[in-house]
């Protein structure tokens, strides 16, 4: 009899559910009986499934409105506060439902994703006390863009410590993040490092290059410097804009910034910076969720894809770029040094240093043949050395060490 493993992913859209789908698929290929618990707006329903999907986390769509500048009027601020309270009620009701399901079902193991609220400690403790082995994939130790100060120190941090103490093992996607975790929370809970696998789920549904370039504001013949991914302050987009303005030769170049702005991302400030630097005619902004069918064609339009992060764990967007054989430039933070070998599979630059980033971009653009060779080397490294099968076997090994094999 195979092991029964449940994966719980709150986010039914975006990078986290893409990651969860590929882990579930790999676990099933290794012989596990897998159920993926997520929300009704699960966006990968049309892909092949060798596992069960339970849409029982009744939440709201993550990308539920058109991106762009956030209005700050009194009524909008009041409505957002009311909505936040209501969403809090929905969130804890959904987690109560899922926890009760898992307590009844008693799987051989549960794989959990990012901690969205420190008060989830109640649900994690309940499962721990019931003897259910839990492994967390630590995409973030704490919310990267949190600015709550005293709240984090006095309330969130102690509750998060209780969350991590509930897990049998915490899995990290970057060794630097694992080190940060150990410095904050100690080594009472076992940890494991496993690299992010390749992104192989994005279809190329025959979107015409002309239609795509028109949609994303790319003129015929322009070379493209691309940023793709969720827009948040920690992603360093303003550093990329500054770096683009510093390029010694921008003739025929276009900077495309495509992604959904989080509530903490200031799109008005981004537009003002672009205007101040006098590069508005060479910058295209697509401030919305990029459909999965656009990801591969858009990446293919990029002469290089840039990840100017100020801090990071591992990047699903960078994994997608490498899997698709695109030249990449990133900052030397988080999991990037393990995913990108500087000068061999891409270039790394110092974080929050637009001049260094501009230099790496310029080197990539100046030698297209070398850029293509590095991109192909990165694709091969991704496919050969960071497989989902190895990731799944690592997880199964953790559960094998925690509970006797089922009879």
Domain co-membership, 395 together with 377: no
Domain co-membership, 193 together with 216: no
Residue 153 confidence (pLDDT): 56
Instruction: Please compute the mean of the pLDDT values over residues 315-330 and round it to a whole number.
Output: 94
Angstrom distances, CA of residue 240 to CA of 101, 120, 195, 330? 45, 36, 26, 10
Instruction: Please compute the mean of the pLDDT values over residues 328-332 and round it to a whole number.
Output: 97
Domain co-membership, 251 together with 165: no
Domain co-membership, 157 together with 226: no
pLDDT at residue 233 tops 90: yes
Instruction: Please compute the mean of the pLDDT values over residues 254-262 and round it to a whole number.
Output: 96
Q: What CATH number has the domain bearing residue 61? A: 3.40.50.2000
Interhelix angle for 15-29 vs 316-323, to 10°? Answer: 60
Token pair for residue 272? Answer: 């003002």
Q: Which residues pair with 261 in a beta bridge?
A: 231
Predicted model pTM:
0.91
- Please give the tally of structural domains in the chain: 2
Strands 328-331 and 4-8: unpaired
Closest listed residue to residue 166, CA positions, set 114, 220, 124, 229? 124
Domain co-membership, 98 together with 138: yes
Domain co-membership, 167 together with 259: no
* Residue 241, in any domain of the structure: yes
Residue 87 confidence (pLDDT): 85
The mean of the pLDDT values for the chain is 90
Residue 111 confidence (pLDDT): 98
- Distance between CA 346 and CA 353 in Å, rounded? 17
| Helix, strand, coil percentages, rounded to 5, for the chain | 45, 15, 40
pLDDT at residue 2 tops 50: yes
Range of the domain at 295: 209-385
Residue 328 confidence (pLDDT): 97
Instruction: Please compute the mean of the pLDDT values over residues 104-131 and round it to a whole number.
Output: 94
Instruction: Please compute the mean of the pLDDT values over residues 155-164 and round it to a whole number.
Output: 86
Domain co-membership, 225 together with 144: no
What order do you get walking across the sheet with 33-38 strand by strand? Answer: 52-55, 33-38, 4-8, 109-112, 134-138, 169-172, 191-193
C-beta separation of 20 from 114 below 8 A: no
* Residue 221, in any domain of the structure: yes
Instruction: Please compute the mean of the pLDDT values over residues 268-278 and round it to a whole number.
Output: 97
Q: State the SS3 of 209-277.
A: HHHHHHHCCCCCCCEEEEEECCECHHHCHHHHHHHHHHCCCCCCEEEEEECCECCCCCHHHHHHHHHHC
DSSP H stretches of helix in 130-172:
150-151, 157-166
- Distance between CA 274 and CA 241 in Å, rounded? 7
* Residue 405, in any domain of the structure: no
- 337-389 pLDDT, tens digit per residue, is 999 999 999 999 999 999 999 999 999 999 999 999 999 999 999 988 889 99
Q: Which residues pair with 285 in a beta bridge?
A: 257
């Amino acid at each position: 009899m195979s092991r029964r493993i449940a994966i719980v992913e709150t986010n039914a859209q975006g990078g986290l559910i893409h990651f969860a789908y590929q882990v579930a698929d790999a676990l099933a290929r290794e012989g596990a009986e897998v159920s993926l618990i997520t929300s009704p707006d699960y966006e990968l329903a049309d892909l092949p499934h060798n596992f069960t999907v339970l849409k029982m986390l009744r939440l709201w769509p993550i990308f539920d409105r058109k991106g762009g500048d956030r209005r700050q009027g009194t009524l909008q601020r009041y409505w957002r506060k009311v909505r936040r309270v209501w969403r809090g009620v929905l969130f804890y009701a959904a987690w109560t439902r899922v926890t009760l399901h898992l307590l009844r079902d008693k799987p051989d193991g549960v794989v959990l994703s990012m901690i969205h609220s420190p008060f989830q400690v109640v649900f994690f403790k309940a499962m721990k006390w019931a003897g259910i082995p839990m492994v967390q994939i630590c995409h973030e130790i704490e919310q990267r863009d949190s600015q709550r100060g005293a709240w984090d120190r006095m309330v969130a941090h102690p509750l998060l410590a209780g969350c991590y103490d509930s897990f049998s093992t915490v899995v990290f996607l970057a060794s630097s993040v694992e080190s940060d975790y150990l410095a904050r929370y100690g080594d009472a809970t076992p940890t494991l490092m496993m690299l992010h696998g390749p992104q192989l789920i994005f279809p190329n549904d025959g979107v015409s290059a002309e239609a795509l370039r028109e949609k994303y504001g790319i003129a015929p013949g322009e070379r493209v410097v691309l940023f793709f991914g969720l827009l948040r302050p920690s992603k360093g987009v303003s550093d990329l804009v500054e770096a683009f303005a510093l390029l010694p030769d921008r003739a025929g170049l276009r900077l495309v910034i495509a992604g959904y702005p989080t509530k903490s991302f200031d799109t008005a400030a981004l537009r003002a910076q672009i205007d101040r630097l006098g590069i508005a005619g060479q910058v295209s902004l697509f401030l919305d969720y990029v459909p999965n069918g656009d990801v591969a064609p858009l990446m293919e339009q990029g002469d290089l894809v840039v990840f100017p992060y100020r801090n990071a764990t591992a990047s699903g967007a960078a994994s997608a770029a490498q899997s698709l054989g695109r030249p990449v430039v990133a900052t030397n933070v988080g999991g990037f040094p393990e995913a990108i070998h500087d000068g061999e599979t891409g270039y790394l630059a110092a974080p929050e240093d637009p001049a260094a980033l501009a230099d790496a971009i310029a080197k990539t653009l100046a030698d297209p043949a070398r850029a293509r060779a590095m991109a192909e080397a990165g694709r091969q490294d991704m496919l050969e050395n960071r497989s989902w099968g190895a990731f799944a076997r690592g997880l199964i090994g953790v559960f094998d060490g925690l509970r006797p094999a089922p009879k």
